[in-house]
A and B are shown apart, each in its own frame.
Chain A
Amino acid sequence: MTETLNETSPYGAPHGENRSVMIVGDVEGLTTAPASFGRLAWRRFRRHRLAIAGGLGLVLITLLFFLGPLLVEWAPDQTNVPDRMQGPSAEHWFGTDALGRDLFVRTAQGGRYSLLIGALVAVMATAIGSAMGAVAGYFGGAADTLISQVINLILIVPALIALSVFSQTYGSDAVGLSVILALLLWTRIARVTRGVVLSIREQEFIMAARAAGARHTRILGRHVLPNMVGAIAVEVTLLLGTAIVLESTLSFLGLGVRPPNASLGTLVADAKGSIDDDPIRVLGPGFFIVLIVLCVNFLGDGMRDALDPRAKTERG
């Protein structure tokens, strides 16, 4: 209980009451049903124009990567040497590479691969991180110490260095690379979850559940988990961006995705040699990464504002 008390300001009303003031539209609050937390969050999220733009942009990019190649007749690995190294044209939207492969189709394929890895990492790291964080926060004691030390262990070596050591041999395809990335990136979510669970576990409804004889698994799953969803959702979004950046960086260095597969990072690395003559070819796939990460960050920022009413400092 002490922890929740500390969070409220000594002068103002506790946050719970603040929230209810916002819900009530009319003076007495009798005519409108109180909005659920989800609806309130959605309302706040909708007001965040950049977040909407980010979400929309992400959908558009995904559609472009998945549906775009259907509109052109080229296959991603179809070489056509006489037409190599061409600039953008009606036929080849992004031009062709050193083997005459259509760069738009290659970029779309690489983009799908990057998004796939990002999504896989986000799912796996979230699963590991929230489970670890919940266990550490809920049980405390030895479990907490052990998990905290594992986190410290992972943080001791810079991520890129650890990644390059292991991805070189175990990470040449999407699943392998995602597992390695997830094993390194779950720490942040674990720490956030641990913090949230630490404050939840002291509250009355947990005590009530325990008094009613609920088992630990039930308390964690039914009572603790729903309260962590907001904090985790924000972290997952940001994690997606981090994973895509790290994956493309590794692939750029030749340590991640390897031929015949290609990700956006590989495409940049492939074209790196011709940056003198043809910067667009190199920077095109690179700007897609920037665009994706930008959208993801906007989305995450909007979600933070929407799901955490107290974090209202970061706006646009």
Chain B
Amino acid sequence: MFAYVTRRVLTTIPLMIIALYVVFIGVSLTNDPLGNFYLCLPRCQEGYDRIVEVYNLDVSIWVRPFYWFSDALTGDLGDSSALGLPVSEVILNRGKNTAILAIPAFLISATVALMLSVYSARRQYTVGDYFFTTLSFIGLAFPSFVLALVIQNIFGVQTEKWFGIKPFNTGRMSGDGFFPLLRDMALPLLTLTILSISADSRFGRASMLETLGQDYIRTARAKGLPERRVVWKHALRNSLIPLVTLWALTLSALLSGSIVTESIFSWPGLGPAFLQALGDTDLDLILGIVLFTGVLTVLFNLIADVMYGVLDPRIRLN
């Protein structure tokens, strides 16, 4: 397995480099860091030269990404030009905020989705199944920004005393301490949870149904095992296999920061930071966040693959 993991990581590195290269070129082609300098040129030669030096503007645009790569290899992701802070520090701080929101959102939605899929699968075509299936269908149709606005309107505007409503993407917090934090978290958490529950439970239901229809489940029932044991021990383990991939994707997406939900509820996470960096064409910060999300995606996919082997010993990683 160690060889497998190593090989997977090694094959991802060139992909990551290409992705970052394309992003670097895409952003730099449309943005001139010297834009502010042309009008004042003779007077501000010093600043002009410094910008040229910092961004390596004296070399061709196609070569420039490699300077960034060599810096990144030494652990230096550069400075955010808009915030004046090292990119790694910004990502660390914002990432912490995102994690505060993402981890509970993931735990709640994974648990609820699992319960719902087991419920729906065991009572297929009953009223309860139709109810939850319809709900998840509706939930799936909601783009995150519409759902976030609906929730903001229902809970933030109508009951303003409880949750309050904050301006778009300002990162304003209610205050320090646990309860103000909870107050700020509640609505984005609700949005993220609903979104992932709808996606996961539909998938989970299908997977559970397929497992429950298999011969070994009939065998387990025939030999007299209690239904609870059949479902929660025998069926669950197999039906988890496809769900694990989905969970890995969900968690890596949540931890990369949900641009829309976090911005609408003004949660100071990675998503709004990325949006702001785009607006300011803050190249180093954009690249840093792309690198971070890419690493997260790869990491969690890898974890999912390793989990496969744990759940199903027939799957050999090679």
List chain A positions with a Cβ less than 8 A from chain B: 149, 152-153, 155-158, 160-162, 164-166, 168-169, 241, 245, 248-249, 252-253, 255, 265, 268, 272, 275-276, 279, 282-283, 286-287, 289-291, 293-294, 297-298, 313-316
Contact = CB atoms under 8 A, between A and B. Distances in A.
Nearest to A9: B215
Contact of B290 (A157, A169, A265, A276): A157
Interface of B: 12, 15-16, 18-19, 23, 26-27, 29-30, 125, 130, 133, 137-138, 140-146, 149-150, 152-153, 157, 165, 168, 202, 206, 209-210, 253, 256, 259-260, 263, 274-275, 278, 286, 289-290, 293-294, 297-298
Given A279-B157, A283-B153, A252 B145 contact: yes
A287 B260 CA distance: 17
Contacts of A161: 256, 259, 274, 289-290, 293
B143 A249 contact: yes
Contact of A165 (B12, B23, B133): B23
B168 A253 contact: no
B26 A166 contact: yes
Contacts of A291: 141
Contacts of A169: 26, 29-30
Contacts of B26: 165-166, 169
Nearest to B165: A276
B207 to A, nearest CB: 9
A156 B146 contact: no
9 contacts: A155-B297, A156-B298, A158-B293, A169-B26, A249-B144, A252-B145, A282-B149, A286-B146, A297-B140
Contacts of A275: 149, 152-153, 157
B297 A272 contact: no
Given A157-B297, A166-B26, A276-B157, A283 B149 contact: yes
Given A156-B297, A164-B259, A276-B165, 15 more contacts: A158-B297, A164-B278, A165-B27, A169-B29, A245-B143, A249-B145, A253-B145, A253-B260, A275-B153, A282-B149, A286-B143, A286-B145, A293-B141, A294-B138, A316-B130
A203 B294 CA distance: 39
A219 to B, nearest CB: 31
Given A157-B19, A290-B146, A297-B141, A168 B297 contact: no
